[in-house]
Each structure stands twice: as C-alpha cells, then as structure tokens.
A and B are shown apart, each in its own frame.
Chain A
Amino acid sequence: MSAKPVTLVSDTSSHENASQLEQEHVHDVYDHIAPHFSQTRYKPWPIVSAFLASIPSGWVGLDSGTGNGKYLPLPLDRPGESWTIGLDRSSNLLNFAKSAGGKSREVVLGDAMDCCWRSGAFDYAISIATIHHFSTPERRKWAIQALLRCLSPDHGRALIYVWATRQDELSKRSIPRASPPAHDELPYKVPRSIGKDVFVPWKLTPGAPRGDSKYHQNVNGKDEISSTASQQTRRTDFDRYYHMFDEGELRLLVKEAAADLGIGERAKANETLSGTAKSGTFLEFVQDDWERSNFYIELRLWTI
C-alpha cells in the first residue's frame, strides 16, 4: 500500500447496501488496478510463509482472497507436496494467480462469503488481507463461517489476517480520529462501535499497467464493458474500502462465527487431560497476535 492519508467512509447512506459499496470500492477497484497491484504484491509475509511451511505433505488447502496468488507456490522447498487452491472475487487478479510462480495454479472466481466446496473439503485455509474488505460485521462473520465450513472438522487449520487500527510506528499513514458510520443491520453482538471504516486511496501513476476491462466478468460470466468500466480505465484514483479491526475484535468475531455453527472454543490439550468432554467439533486458538499493522489469528478444529 502506498503511504497516503486515510479518509473515513463518511457517506454510506449513498450506497444502497453493503454489497454495492463492496462492488464499487473493493471489486471494481481491484479489477482495475490488478496489473499495478500485482507488480507491488510479490513478497510473502513471513508469518504466512511459516504457517504454510508447517502444513504436512499431502494436505489440500484454500487461499480465500488469493489476489495475485503469491501464496499459492508456497512452501517453495516442497513444491507439489501440498496444494493450495486460490479463490478471489477479481477475475483480473486471478489471471495473474493462475500462473503464480511460473506454474499452472488452480484458481476459482468466487466470493469469500460463500462456500462453494464440499463441506470439510480442505485440510487448511488462509484468509490474508481479505475479510477487512467486507463492510458489515455480519458479512465479515459470514466470511469466517465460509472458511470454517470448508475445513475438515477433525484437523482443519486456518490463518486469518486483517488490517488493524493499531498501526505500525513505521507506517506513514495517519488515521483520522472520528466515529465510524452508523449501520442499520440486524442486532449483532460485536459492538457496532468497534473498529474503523475507512477508504484507502490507490493511485495509478501515469504509465502504470491497467486492468483490461474486457476481462471484467459479471456473475453470468458475460463480458461486462459498461460505460462506467470504460470510463474507469482512464481513472487514476481509486478508494478502497477497509474495516480496520480493533484489538480483540477478530477473536470475538471468530468465536461468534464458530458458535453459530455449533463449534465451541476449547483447547485440545486441556480436554485430553480432563477427559470429561462431550462429543462435538471444537475450535482452538493457536496464535492471536499483532504484526506490522495487522491482527492475525491461527486456529485449528478438532473433534471428540
């Protein structure tokens, strides 16, 4: 991300609903900036690399919100021993992801809120810098539930990364202090006031590669060269929507997402010792931490 001041989302009332906001300020933006974005996003984050390096041989996983697919080739020292399938909402980014690292990769155009897989299909899943693009707590929870549903209940592992209100001191970004916009959805246990909703600018410099609007696919798979799309190919400034997470917010959201699916939080080690467990699927937090302006959680599922 370029170091530009952040402006708060101040006028959500002009957006008919959350999905329209995300269409305009997430999906359309990524489709247009895809080549430029892809050029600047090639370095894997160390904690994500370490997680993928810890995946046993023979496992199959999902990268939900794969973008240009930079995590699909990992771990580099054991190619082909585990398989990560990439999912993203931007077909232009997937055109990069499908040959990430110079080899054919498996990629699927889809929404991270939907589970288009056999339930329990994957041994592991990663969701890196994706869930913060959903614009209501409900939609962020659905995205976590989609991850949990596609994981093997008896051993599935996941790593989730989101942008944090607690920013790195080295970050030149300045976060304006103001209350987030009011939403008017159903009652929700995660407090509305938690976190911050912001727009982050992306500027295409003159000569920067642009997304080819011919590739823009709508839900029917038809080419969509709308008048706005062709106008946008000339645009240089884009505002991406982010929900910046507060301390503890991601953990709360994961717990609630799991609870709705009948998955309680319980550490496996304690249970083995006490031996009083009822049967069921449980979730254990393995890591819950902050790193370089992001919160991340590693979890695993297990069954009795």
Chain B
Amino acid sequence: MVRLITHNLLACHAKNCTQTKGFPLAFNDVRVETKEAEFNADFLKSFYERKIDWDALVGAAKQLGDTSLPLERPEMVDDDFLQLLHHVLLEIHVEEGEMICPNCKHVYKIRDGIPNMLLAEHEIG
C-alpha cells in the first residue's frame, strides 16, 4: 500500500536527482481507498516528533483530497490531533496512480497498492 507514512519517507533516486530536491513526490491521477487501522498514540507521537516532514504530509494529503490537517505544524500534541494524524498517515491507501518527482519529473507508478520505485539501468545514479 502507499499510505502517507511511506510517502513521507520516499524520495526520488533517479540519476542526476538528489534525495533533498526529489522530495516530496507529487501524487497524480490516483485512486484512493480508506481502511480503518489500529490507533497507536505512542507510535504516532514518536513519528510526528522525530521523523515527519510536515509540509510534505499536508501537501500530499491535499493532493488526495484531505484538508483536515492544519497548515502550520502544531506545537500541542493532544488526542484530537493524534486522531487526525492517525487517519491521514495510516488510513488513506493509494491503490492506483503515480508519484512524480518535483525536481526531475520522473514518474513512479502505483499498481495494486504497490509503488514501483525500480529504475531502468540507465536511470540509476
């Protein structure tokens, strides 16, 4: 599945691109499904505080039609906020579509919920 937790970590790795410029990948032409996931406050808090790229998450959620997150990264992490974060990060599944690199425009396809990050031999940096 491509959920936004994975999207928040993926970066373009094509030749002549860099992991900083090639992030975040932009969703295009997607089919999305929502599935319930188990809520785990400890995991969400840790991921939010240590790993998350907030702007990338808000931007990607918007591309998938979800505008529930505040644009500014909240300082206060309460239960209501964690519930919002839980839904956006772990319950929206991109089943079909593509992700496009903002820098080199490389297209990574998503099929049956699996993103294809393979590069052809000549595209490997």
Contact = CB atoms under 8 A, between A and B. Distances in A.
B38 A106 contact: no
A133 interface: no
Given A81-B40, A115-B13, A219 B46 contact: no
Contact of B117 (A106, A110, A118, A218): A110
Nearest to A223: B111
Interface of B: 1-3, 5-6, 9-13, 19, 23, 35, 37-40, 42-43, 45-47, 50-51, 53, 93, 109, 111-121, 124
Interface of A: 19, 57-60, 79-83, 85, 87, 89, 91, 94-95, 98, 104-111, 114-119, 121-122, 217-221
A57 B9 contact: no
A109 B1 contact: no
A interface, over-half SS: loop
Nearest to B124: A114
B3 to A, nearest CB: 6
Nearest to A27: B118
B113 A98 contact: yes
Contacts of B35: 104
Contact of A109 (B3, B38, B117): B117
A108 B42 CA distance: 25
B11 A118 contact: yes
Contact of B19 (A58, A80, A115): A115
17 contacts: A19-B121, A79-B38, A87-B117, A95-B114, A98-B113, A104-B93, A108-B10, A108-B115, A108-B117, A109-B114, A109-B118, A110-B116, A114-B119, A114-B124, A116-B10, A118-B10, A217-B116
A15 to B, nearest CB: 14
Nearest to A62: B9
B85 to A, nearest CB: 13
A116 to B, nearest CB: 4
Contacts of B50: 58
Contact of A57 (B46, B111, B116): B46
